[in-house]
Amino acid sequence: MAKKSLQDLTKSELYEKAQKADVPGRSQMSRTELLKALSNGHAQERPKKGRKRAKATTTKRSIWSGAITFGLITIPVGLYTATEDRDIAFHLLSAKDKSRIQYKRVSSKTGREVDWDDIVKGYEYEKGKYVVFTPEELEQVAPESARTIDVVKIVDADEIDPIYFEKSYFVAPSKVGAKAYKLFLRALAESERVAVAKVTIREKERLCTLRVKEDLLVLETMNWPDEIRVPDFEQLKDNSRISAEELKMARLLIDHLAGEFDPSEFEDSYRQRLEDAIEAKIEGNEIELAPAEAEPATVTNLLDALKASVDQTRAKRSA
């Protein structure tokens, strides 16, 4: 049987290939986007043991193209994913013969597999009753922000609670929009504020901010206010009295842990150990099991625990 080309594969088959190639952002890609990503050879090389994988640069292909609208100014731009998921992905296998477990789209009525081209979107308004939308109908109700990043307000950055922030994208201009982009960036930087805007990415309208990072605009998608849950915890109503000595020691502990944020100081140690374990398995070596972690000691006297913590952090700082 002749091997299928990428063009002949279904979205499900393309996704499986993207999963194997560790294509970043694959779960949110359309069939066309998966096809482009695989055609561009976005497979990630497995790092050799003991060698850190270099940070990935931005792709040449934008995930969205449109324009920033700022008053009557229009700035043609593209969005580029600013972060990547570096979690190690495992496949599910049969324990008996190590064959891959596959998931199929099966009709609950006929039990037969359904092709992507025969799948439509439906909203269940009553149990078992749906209203169906075609892609054309969904386009008709698409928001005005489908092709624009529409700036609606300029605010101080500290007015926005970080709980609203969702995902980061780099915003880069097209050649014709470079001057207007630089002008907007410089004006925003000098104001020391951020722009609040609306944008539609992958059929979902999102609240977002535009902020300046060095010589680049960064777009942060945000949760809508009604998507953030109201905290309701009975345990926060505890009326235990905090003594002056306890508060003093807690502040002292915070002072000992205080410092400037340097992202290079932090790394995913679990992922590194997992990569080493994978390498050992490939080479046929046994994995050295880490000793069981001791259960955290129950705090019986909060003040004693604070004093011990202060002594411990003081010792680390002087080491």
Query: pLDDT tens, 31-72?
Result: 777 887 787 654 444 555 555 566 667 777 888 899 999 888
pLDDT at 8 over 90: no
**Cα gap 68→198, rounded to integer Å:** 10
* Total structural domains within the chain: 3
The tens digit of pLDDT for each residue in 278-287 reads: 888 888 888 8
Same domain, 270 and 174: no
Same domain, 175 and 249: no
> What is the total residue count of the chain?
319
Q: Where are the beta strands (DSSP E) in 87-203?
A: 121-126, 129-133, 148-155, 165-173, 194-201
pLDDT band of 120, cuts 50, 70, 90 = confident
**Cα gap 185→193, rounded to integer Å:** 11
pLDDT at 2 over 60: no
pLDDT at 6 over 60: yes
pLDDT band of 211, cuts 50, 70, 90 = very high
The tens digit of pLDDT for each residue in 237-250 reads: 888 888 999 899 89
Mean pLDDT of 296-311: 76
Same domain, 217 and 289: no
Same domain, 252 and 294: yes
Give the SS3 label for residue 253: helix
Same domain, 172 and 289: no
pTM of the model: 0.71
Domain that holds residue 225: 55-89+145-229
pLDDT at 3 over 70: no
Same domain, 61 and 183: yes
Asked if residue 80 is part of any domain, the answer here is yes
**Cα gap 146→199, rounded to integer Å:** 7
Q: Which amino acid is at 238?
A: D
Asked if residue 225 is part of any domain, the answer here is yes
Give the CA distances from residue 290 to residues 87, 272, 287, in Å, rounded to whole numbers and listed in that order.
21, 14, 9
Nearest C-alpha neighbor of 222 from the set 236, 240, 209, 203: 209
Look at residue 299 in the predicted model and tell me its pLDDT: 59
The tens digit of pLDDT for each residue in 59-113 reads: 778 888 999 998 888 999 999 988 887 888 888 899 999 898 888 889 988 989 8
CA 275 to chain centre: 21
Mean pLDDT of 166-195: 94
Please name the helix (run of DSSP H) or strand (run of DSSP E) that holds residue 188, with its range, or none: helix 178-191
**Residues whose CB is less than 8 angstroms from the CB of residue 160 and which lie 6 or more positions away in sequence, other chains included:** 194, 196, 209, 222
